[in-house]
A and B are shown apart, each in its own frame.
Chain A
Amino acid sequence: MAQTAFLESLPQSASQTKLPVESALDESWRDLYLKAFRFMQRARVIEDKLASLYRSGKITGGCYVGRGNEAVAVSAGIALNKGDVFAPLIRDQAGRLAYGESPADAFRTYLGSRLGPMRGRDGNVHRGRPAEGYLAMISHLGAMVSAATGMLLGRRLRGEPTGIAIVTLGEGATSTGAFHEGLNLAAVEKLPVVVVVSNNLYAYSTPNSRQFACESLVHRARGYGVRGWDVDGTDLNDCLKKITAAAQDARQTGLPQLVVATLLRLSGHGEHDDAFYVDATLKTLPVARDCLAVAEEFILQTNLADWGEILEWKEEAKREVESILAEVQREPVPDPFEERWCCLATPGLCEGIDGV
């Protein structure tokens, strides 16, 4: 599809968010919405701080944020129960918080703290605690789909309840062989893996028109024999409603789901990237709305909270983040002289170290 045709295929009018007002009046939904919103808010604060650390040279390597992706991410995190499998990608700070990760782990991993999950051996957004069902991504997109499937397979083989898995990806990852092999395997194995794709319109600098040729990625669900969900990634209501429903469906049927949320990435690929290539027209379309601002507007319109409360929550998040960062900056960093330089778990097999 030419870029022009692609732009025309997106919603053109900046219509009001379709608010499920009746749902908003439901108390449990209001609680869930506000809970999700506050994770989004905290994630934005954490990532603004990370970006600021990056710009001041305190972070080595790249820095990747999920600005604009928070509504999708938080909905994935919130849909999971303890013990479920989560394989997040680089734009999922809000989902990681909702899943139960300590906010300190974000800073620990970027700063290489020895108290963090990766201990300076891997960094930036590559973090997880696989023993707790929380996979640590590798950079090769798509690879985590089969790994998450394998975790559920292992549980099923042991005769235990599998729980569900959520794997998040960008649209770029859907072009990889690993994505295809992984989703097909999950479908063949009939395991409840929910693949949540954020189509943020650019994979690094590559627009959708050079990434795939089908009308919508969600159409691929049918080809894999899984249920597909089309989500407005800028609208927390839509994300929460559909992603939690997809998770629920996975729980009930034991089958995989493919969620495709559409939104515009509101940052560069990383903080090193000024995203000059993003089409100016796109930025005027509803797809370019900031999901956090949309959620704020919804909260105010429906009187879930007033502006003062929203600001207070943000200030509270800032205070919390400053205090966590101050602590993490005091934590020990890796020492090459104390590093064992052996990457095998089996004793006695590392050459030059174990007397081999």
Chain B
Amino acid sequence: MSVTYLDAIREAQAKALASHPGVFIYGQDVALFGGAFKATKNLLQQFPGRILDTPISEDAMVGAAIGAAAEGMRPIVEMQFADFSTVGFNQIVNHAATLFWRTGVPCPITIRLPSGGTMGSGPFHSQMMETVYAHYPGLVVMTPATVEDAYSMLLEAVLEIDDPVIFCEHKMLYYHLKAPALPTVALPAKHARIARHGKHATLATYSAMVHEALLASQQLATEGFEIEVVDLRTVKPLDTDTLLASVARTGRLLAVGESFPWGGVTAEVVSRAADEGFALLDAPPRRLNAKDTPVPYHPNLWTAHRPSANSIAAALRDLLRS
């Protein structure tokens, strides 16, 4: 018996629905159909009246969730693809994210973003949006990399966090990433995690790139280098303490992200290391991101567009030589 990353997301929602009467799911094709990726499959039967199909109206979906949250509900909004959340961007960053600050009324909504690239998905079904949302005050941005985190962090987002959470779940991990069982204990979402211990360089990353980073670290291990992989788990807030503690052990830092290269999480990681941990560094900190073009369609282009185990390994070798 094993549990996939997608199962974990479905089970977390089922548990949240069972635990709190204020939880409901609002999104396109989520009810009878069970969601474009089946993340809400069979939930309608278990929780009738609480899984609601919406028109194709991302702005209004988030707006309605904000209103319901102001009334004490804890809605989960499923965006069909992270890319489409841009249509609801205004409600997310200007309304949900400002509500508590402006009025003192909390806005506990969880917006699920099926994120990241899969082969053949092209420019509008592949994007990573964490960088964009992390920029705005008032939002919590989670980027789980494991089955266990997909479950426990989603539960924490829906039931425990009283603020808008942008939950970036990676589509590439949905079906293939498996764990023996759902977790029974959880590390709070705000903490980063050491996914692999090492001493020669710190590789800070998140979401699906954690798995590419671990593969790259295995390559480097055969060359005699022990890479410490830090899984950031949540990019806003960013666990700078865990990051800097790792940099203190290794003296070198590579930050890897699947999103576009201008600014973003990797830039923030490098900036914090340079600002707060300059004396810990033995070499200039480095970043590796996707290329500065839209996400391409063809597999030949797509595999070269995003960081991979090989390109990460190459970047690590450069870093270790510097």
User: Bound pair: A and B?
Assistant: yes
Whether B68 pairs with A178 at a CB distance below 8 angstroms is no
Contact of A2 with B by CB under 8 A: no
Kindly specify which of B7-15, B97-105, B207-215 makes contact with the partner chain.
B97-105
Docked pose: A187 CA to B155 CA in angstroms: 32
Q: Which residues of A contact B91 (CB under 8 A)?
A: 143, 146-147, 178
CB of B23, distance to nearest CB on chain A (Å): 10
Q: A150-B65, A178-B60 are in contact. Are A343 and B190 (CB under 8 A)?
A: no
CB of B108, distance to nearest CB on chain A (Å): 8
Whether A351 pairs with B238 at a CB distance below 8 angstroms is yes
Whether B57 pairs with A181 at a CB distance below 8 angstroms is yes
Most A CB within 10 A of own CB, among B73, B108, B239: B73
Whether A344 pairs with B138 at a CB distance below 8 angstroms is yes
CB of A193, distance to nearest CB on chain B (Å): 10
Whether B60 pairs with A356 at a CB distance below 8 angstroms is no
Docked pose: A140 CA to B269 CA in angstroms: 33
Query: Could you mark each residue 175-203 of chain A with 1 if its beta carbon is under 8 Å from any beta carbon of chain B, else 0?
Result: 00110011011001100000000000000
Q: Which residues of A contact B90 (CB under 8 A)?
A: 140, 143, 178
Whether B105 pairs with A130 at a CB distance below 8 angstroms is yes
Q: Which residues of A contact B161 (CB under 8 A)?
A: 346, 349
Contact of A348 with B by CB under 8 A: yes
Residues 62-77 of B at the A interface (beta carbon under 8 Å): 62-73
Nearest CB in chain B to that of A344: its residue: B163
Whether B100 pairs with A181 at a CB distance below 8 angstroms is no
Contact of A62 with B by CB under 8 A: no
Q: Which residues of A contact B70 (CB under 8 A)?
A: 130-131, 135, 147, 150-151, 154
CB of A23, distance to nearest CB on chain B (Å): 35
Whether A150 pairs with B95 at a CB distance below 8 angstroms is no
Q: Which residues of B contact A146 (CB under 8 A)?
A: 57, 59-64, 66-67, 91
Query: Could you mark each residue 103-133 of chain B with 1 if its beta carbon is under 8 Å from any beta carbon of chain A, else 0?
Result: 1111110000000000000000000000000
Residues 118-134 of A at the B interface (beta carbon under 8 Å): 118, 121-122, 126, 128-131
Whether A150 pairs with B59 at a CB distance below 8 angstroms is no
Whether A154 pairs with B95 at a CB distance below 8 angstroms is no
Contact of B224 with A by CB under 8 A: no
Residues 147-182 of A at the B interface (beta carbon under 8 Å): 147-155, 157-158, 177-178, 181-182
Whether A118 pairs with B103 at a CB distance below 8 angstroms is yes
Whether A178 pairs with B163 at a CB distance below 8 angstroms is no
CB of B158, distance to nearest CB on chain A (Å): 12
Whether A143 pairs with B63 at a CB distance below 8 angstroms is yes
Q: A157-B73, A343-B138 are in contact. Are A182 and B237 (CB under 8 A)?
A: no
Contact of A317 with B by CB under 8 A: no
Q: Which of A129, A139, A154 touches B68 (beta carbons < 8 Å)?
A: A154
Query: Could you mark each residue 228-264 of chain B with 1 if its beta carbon is under 8 Å from any beta carbon of chain A, else 0?
Result: 0000000011111000000000000000000000000
Q: A149-B60, A181-B59, A350-B237 are in contact. Are A154 and B71 (CB under 8 A)?
A: yes
Nearest CB in chain B to that of A87: its residue: B67
Most B CB within 10 A of own CB, among A129, A130, A140, A350: A130
Nearest CB in chain A to that of B54: its residue: A185
Q: Which residues of A contact B63 (CB under 8 A)?
A: 143-147, 149-150, 178, 181-182, 185
Contact of B49 with A by CB under 8 A: yes
Residues 189-223 of A at the B interface (beta carbon under 8 Å): 189
Q: A148-B67, A349-B140 are in contact. Are A118 and B102 (CB under 8 A)?
A: yes
Docked pose: A135 CA to B90 CA in angstroms: 17
Whether B67 pairs with A153 at a CB distance below 8 angstroms is yes
Contact of B282 with A by CB under 8 A: no
Contact of A256 with B by CB under 8 A: no
Whether A143 pairs with B57 at a CB distance below 8 angstroms is no
14 extra interchain contacts, Cβ-Cβ under 8 A, other than A178-B90, A184-B57? A118-B102, A128-B103, A129-B103, A146-B61, A150-B63, A150-B70, A151-B71, A153-B68, A178-B63, A185-B60, A189-B64, A344-B100, A346-B161, A349-B237
| Contact surface of B with A, Cβ cutoff 8 Å | 21-22, 24, 49-50, 54-55, 57-73, 87, 90-91, 94-95, 97-108, 137-138, 140, 160-163, 190, 236-240
26 contacts between A and B (CB under 8 A): A118-B102, A128-B103, A130-B103, A130-B105, A138-B94, A140-B95, A143-B59, A143-B95, A145-B60, A146-B64, A149-B63, A150-B63, A150-B65, A151-B70, A151-B71, A153-B64, A178-B59, A182-B59, A185-B54, A343-B97, A343-B138, A344-B100, A344-B162, A349-B190, A349-B237, A351-B236
| Contact surface of A with B, Cβ cutoff 8 Å | 85, 117-118, 121-122, 126, 128-131, 135-136, 138-140, 143-155, 157-158, 177-178, 181-182, 184-185, 188-189, 343-346, 348-351, 356
Closest 8 CB pairs of A and B: A150-B67, A146-B63, A150-B64, A154-B68, A154-B71, A181-B60, A345-B106, A343-B101
